[in-house]
Amino acid sequence: MNSWQYSESIESEKIVNIEKKYGNFIDGKFVTPKSKQYIDTISPSTEKILSSISIGNQQDVDYAVVSAKEGLKKWSKTAPSERAKYLFKLARLIQERSREFAVLESLDGGKPIKESRDFDLPQVAQNFFYYAGWADKLDIAWGNEKYKPYGVVGQIIPWNFPLLMLSWKVAPALATGNTVVLKPAETTPLTALLFAELCEEVGLPDGVFNLVTGDGSTGSHLVNHKDIKKIAFTGSTGVGKYIQKSLAGRDVGLTLELGGKAANIVYSDAALDEAVEGVVNGIFFNQGHVCCAGSRLLVQEDIEEKFIKKLEKRMQTLNVGNPLDKNTDVGAINSKDQLDKIEKLVNEGIADGGDLYQIECELPKNGFWFKPSLFTSVQANYKIATEEIFGPVLTTLTFRTPEEAVEIANNTEYGLSAGIWTEKGSKILWTADRLEAGVIWANTFNKFDPASPFGGYKESGFGREGGRHGLLSYLKVSS
Amino acid sequence: MTDVKKTYKNYVHGKFVRSESGKVYSIDLKDEKYEIPLTSKKDLRDAVTSSKEGFKNWNQLTMYNRSQILYRLSEMIEGNKDSYISLLQDHGLSKLDSKNDINHAIETIVWYAGFVDKWEQLTGNLNPVAGQYFNISHQEAIGVTFTLSPNSMSLNELVKSILPALTVGCSVINFSDKNAVIALKLSEEVNNSDFPSGSINLISGKFENIIEDVGGHVEIKHAAIYEDISKKSKEVLGQKGSESIKRISLLPSMSGLSSILPFIETKTVWHPKGK
């Protein structure tokens, strides 16, 4: 068992004020859904009902798109420097209310408060601040060609980083002069709804930001809407393919940020203690609900035994439990559905012949939980080595040479991220050149920044979010 | 004395080949009718196999080397300018229009030749992240790229459908229909310009015969088409392409930085700074 026992240090829930029921945010105000359909959103750590949200139907989406079209008339006449100021103001408001947002995010999604407070919220505010500054510099961002916004943009975001994904989508879209209809994930809508309040507060022109909550059917209405000029989606590769197929033959822009099965390559000349930290962070950050998670550990054969021992020892120190406890490292699994998926894949891994190590810890009685897990003795063809688990489960494979490491790392349809651990600079660059992945972390992992482009190769999607490159996802060349 | 008439063949992996199907379609020029290979699905697969190897060989050359090979292509065309001018005249263009078009094509190629070792300085950059990290975004070629040839009788438009992808290091399969004689003639100058085999494959036929396979072939990483193809064709390509998240873009008629952007992937590398 863990030799270090911490006293509880619970962040108070009192700071958040959750309504019993939420409508959609359209044309600058909260409106009752035309669908009249609602679904409960629960806390995955307690299974308590937090609130009830609308399942937007075709009419709700129509209303939001009409509003976004009206909003576009005003937004396109708003000077770029004025657009910037709205975004700067949003960034400031988010900073001021970040504690409230962080608690709400952890309640609704199950992630540790340590992460929502110290990672998600600072990144969200910085992202609005960063893109605010681009709004009036678009004409110098990409050479002397003229670019223009798409118009009304539909955005569909996942449940793993609810508010952060909102900021990745909304900030660049508005900075570049588009207006937005956003659909948050059905299990984590609350921070997006609170964000809508901020839009009202800063006086963002009506219709510039619209929010329709709902499930896959709502998203589908949005994708298939005739007046949407661009879709930006973050989520599973399966849904990404469905969206691309739905848009085939239509003049609608598309960017996709999809799944991953990242290799985290540890060479025998790595600084092993640092590598252990990076590997742990790479897979257990946000319960492994991370598209770029380092879910495949590729360790050089001659250090496997030693490395796995260190890794297991470090894993055992992870605190699993109440997301609102400031000492918690690994929170709740986001939903029952996701927990079922993780359990199914892990059971298949055991049946296939993988050796499973799980840390010893007590899990809370209610809610959805999964112990941090490590598979060894894995063959490359096992499902746990090829499919995205999207949970706190690390799969180990071994290699002998750098060439073999690269081959195994690239032997996947995905290409979102990868990690390299070695003290030899030339080997980092050699490896990085050969890895088919959009983001490569060398001697670090899971680092993000609004200024740094993020997005995948191959079936991990196309388009980039973040940085100067992220602007291109919301602009098209003006002929 | 009877003139010797040229047989136009597909250009695949540095060789001039007929369609394995033995099928042809005809293009009528001013004085002559030409039988052009009607590319089959199997021909397309062969071209993709070649292009995959071509990508490896083309992409591993230094930028300086690739730049010189593209420049040599312009030299080769310059040397055979008269034959191109008369070919375009056979396609119904005036002598002046033909001459202008060839001159523009040469200028386009020289422009891209000089761009090979520069574009990445415009598309890549250090990212000013808030922390002690070295963070750089640079670009890589997407890989095997299928591009449609324009329907216009123009060498300049033709090279614009090939060069942006080639410039960034992709290998290119260019597919022509109505302008196939011009495209297949270009293969002769390509063949004399030190391109590694498979870096450019030029094939001809009817797009509807192979479109499903272009969409469905997972080794074709990118398909670039023109706006004016039928809605049905776009749908088929998009639907089949979605099965492997294929990149599909529209070929612009302009050159410039934006012309290469669809053919690159951005790779961002992080490393901590420390002692």
Domain harbouring A200, CATH code: 3.40.605.10
Residues B210-238: pLDDT tens digits? 999 999 999 999 999 998 899 999 999 99
Q: How far apart are CA B144 and CA B172, in angstroms?
A: 6
Which among B231, B270, B275 is the top mutation candidate for probing chain A, defined by the most A β-carbons within 10 Å of its own β-carbon?
A: B270
pLDDT score for A271: 98
Residue whose structure tokens are 């489960």: A393
The reported pTM is 0.96
Which among A449, A454, A464 is the top mutation candidate for probing chain B, defined by the most B β-carbons within 10 Å of its own β-carbon?
A: A449
Q: How far apart are CA B84 and CA A184, in angstroms?
A: 57
B162 in helix, strand or coil? coil
pLDDT score for B1: 79
Which among A423, A452, A459 is the top mutation candidate for probing chain B, defined by the most B β-carbons within 10 Å of its own β-carbon?
A: A452
Contact B268 A428 (CB under 8 A): no
Q: Would you say residue B164 has pLDDT above 60?
A: yes
Both A302 and A251 in one domain: the answer is no
pLDDT score for A2: 52
Q: For A469, which of B122, B137, B254 is closest by C-beta distance?
A: B137
In eight-state DSSP terms, residue B153 is S
C-beta separation of A406 from A398 below 8 A: no
A444 domain residue, yes or no: yes
C-beta separation of A189 from A163 below 8 A: no
Contact B270 A237 (CB under 8 A): no
Chain B environment of A460 (Cβ under 8 Å): 245
Residues of chain A scoring pLDDT < 70: 1-4, 479
Q: Would you say residue B159 has pLDDT above 80?
A: yes
Q: Please tell me the total count of domains within chain A.
A: 2
pLDDT score for A478: 79
Both A446 and A466 in one domain: the answer is no
pLDDT score for B4: 86
Residue whose structure tokens are 């005003």: A74
Among A413, A381, A385, which residue's Cα sits nearest to residue A297?
Answer: A385
Q: How far apart are CA B115 and CA B164, in angstroms?
A: 10
Q: How far apart are CA A372 and CA A363, in angstroms?
A: 11
Both A37 and A57 in one domain: the answer is yes
Both A217 and A280 in one domain: the answer is no
Both A438 and A465 in one domain: the answer is no
Question: Minimal Cα distance from B234: which residue of A?
Answer: A249
B199 in helix, strand or coil? coil
A222 domain residue, yes or no: yes
A6 domain residue, yes or no: no
Both A250 and A311 in one domain: the answer is no
Tokens of A293: 């998670």
Q: How far apart are CA B177 and CA B189, in angstroms?
A: 19
Contact B122 A143 (CB under 8 A): yes
pLDDT score for B55: 98
pLDDT score for B120: 97
Average pLDDT of the segment spanning B137-160? 97
Active site annotation includes A360: no
How many residues in chain A? Answer: 479
Distances (CA, A) of B47 to B20, B51, B143, B218: 12, 6, 14, 13
Q: Mind telling me how many Å the CA of B86 is from chain A's nearest CA?
A: 33
For A405-420, letters b (16+ CB in 10 Å) and e give bbebbbebebbbbbbb
Number of Cβ within a 10 Å radius of residue B259: 23
Handedness of CA A266, A271, A276, A280 (dihedral sign): negative
Chain B environment of A249 (Cβ under 8 Å): 231-232, 234-235, 238-239
Contact B130 A126 (CB under 8 A): yes
Q: How far apart are CA A443 and CA B33, in angstroms?
A: 64
C-beta separation of A293 from A283 below 8 A: yes
Exactly one of A105, A186, A291, A388 is catalytic; name it.
A291
Helix (H) or strand (E) holding B140: strand B133-141
Question: Minimal Cα distance from B136: which residue of A?
Answer: A452
Average pLDDT of the segment spanning B151-171? 97
Q: How far apart are CA A54 and CA A186, in angstroms?
A: 9
Both A431 and A465 in one domain: the answer is no
Active site annotation includes A199: no
A178 domain residue, yes or no: yes
- What's the burial of A232, exposed, middle or buried (CB within 10 Å: 0-12/13-18/19+)? buried
How many residues in chain B? Answer: 275
The pairing of strands A49-54 and A179-183 is unpaired
Exactly one of A105, A115, A186, A257 is catalytic; name it.
A257
Q: What is the domain range of residue A275?
A: 263-450
Which among A140, A265, A457, A464 is the top mutation candidate for probing chain B, defined by the most B β-carbons within 10 Å of its own β-carbon?
A: A457
Helix (H) or strand (E) holding B88: helix B81-90
Contact A462 B247 (CB under 8 A): yes
Q: How far apart are CA A342 and CA A331, in angstroms?
A: 15
Residues B74-120: pLDDT tens digits? 999 999 999 999 999 999 999 999 999 999 999 999 999 999 999 99
Contact B131 A442 (CB under 8 A): no
Contact residues, chain B to chain A, C-beta under 8 Å: 122, 125, 127-131, 133, 135, 137, 231-232, 234-239, 241-245, 247, 252, 254, 256-258, 261, 265-272
The pairing of strands B222-225 and B172-176 is unpaired
Q: How far apart are CA B106 and CA B73, in angstroms?
A: 9
Number of Cβ within a 10 Å radius of residue A478: 10
Both A113 and A158 in one domain: the answer is yes
SS3 of A439-456: the string is EEEECCCCCCCCCCCECC
Among A444, A126, A451, A281, which residue's Cα sits nearest to residue B273?
Answer: A444
Both A78 and A171 in one domain: the answer is yes
pLDDT score for A3: 59
Chain A environment of B244 (Cβ under 8 Å): 413, 459
Both A249 and A270 in one domain: the answer is no
Residues B20-58: pLDDT tens digits? 999 999 999 988 899 999 999 999 999 999 999 999 999
SS3 of chain A: the string is CCCCCCCCCECCCCCCCCCCEECEEECCEEECCCCCCEEEEECCCCCCEEEEEECCCHHHHHHHHHHHHHHHHHHHHCCHHHHHHHHHHHHHHHHHCHHHHHHHHHHHHCCCHHHHHHHHHHHHHHHHHHHHHHCCCHHHCCCCCCEEECCEEEEECCCCCHHHHHHHHHHHHHHCCCEEEEECCCCCCHHHHHHHHHHHHHCCCCCCEEECCCCHHHHHHHHCCCCCCEEEEECCHHHHHHHHHHCCCCCCEEEEECCCCCEEEECCCCCHHHHHHHHHHHHHHHHHCCCCCCCEEEEEHHHHHHHHHHHHHHHHCCCECCCCECCCCECCCCCHHHHHHHHHHHHHHHHHCCEEEECCCCCCCCCCCCCCEEEECCCCCCHHHHCCCCCCEEEEEEECCHHHHHHHHHCCCCCCEEEEECCCHHHHHHHHHHCCCCEEEECCCCCCCCCCCECCCHHHEECCECHHHHHHHHEEECC
Confirm whether the ipTM is greater than 0.95: yes
pLDDT score for B5: 86
Residue whose structure tokens are 């050359």: B61
Contact A444 B137 (CB under 8 A): no
pLDDT score for A246: 98
A377 domain residue, yes or no: yes
Question: Minimal Cα distance from A448: which residue of B?
Answer: B129
Q: What is the CATH number of the domain that holds A291?
A: 3.40.309.10
In eight-state DSSP terms, residue B143 is -
pLDDT score for B255: 77
Contact A438 B265 (CB under 8 A): yes
Both A270 and A350 in one domain: the answer is yes
B263 in helix, strand or coil? helix
pLDDT score for A146: 87
Both A244 and A269 in one domain: the answer is no
Q: How far apart are CA A423 and CA A269, in angstroms?
A: 6
pLDDT score for A377: 96
Q: How far apart are CA A90 and CA A204, in angstroms?
A: 9
A429 domain residue, yes or no: yes
Average pLDDT of the segment spanning B261-266? 97
* Residue B137 identity: S
pLDDT score for A131: 98
What end-to-end distance do the CA atoms of chain B give, in Å? 82
pLDDT score for A342: 98
Tokens of B257: 């930085």
A174 domain residue, yes or no: yes
A290 domain residue, yes or no: yes
Chain B environment of A457 (Cβ under 8 Å): 265, 267
C-beta separation of B173 from B139 below 8 A: no
For A54-76, letters b (16+ CB in 10 Å) and e give bbbbbebbbbbbbbbbbbbeebe
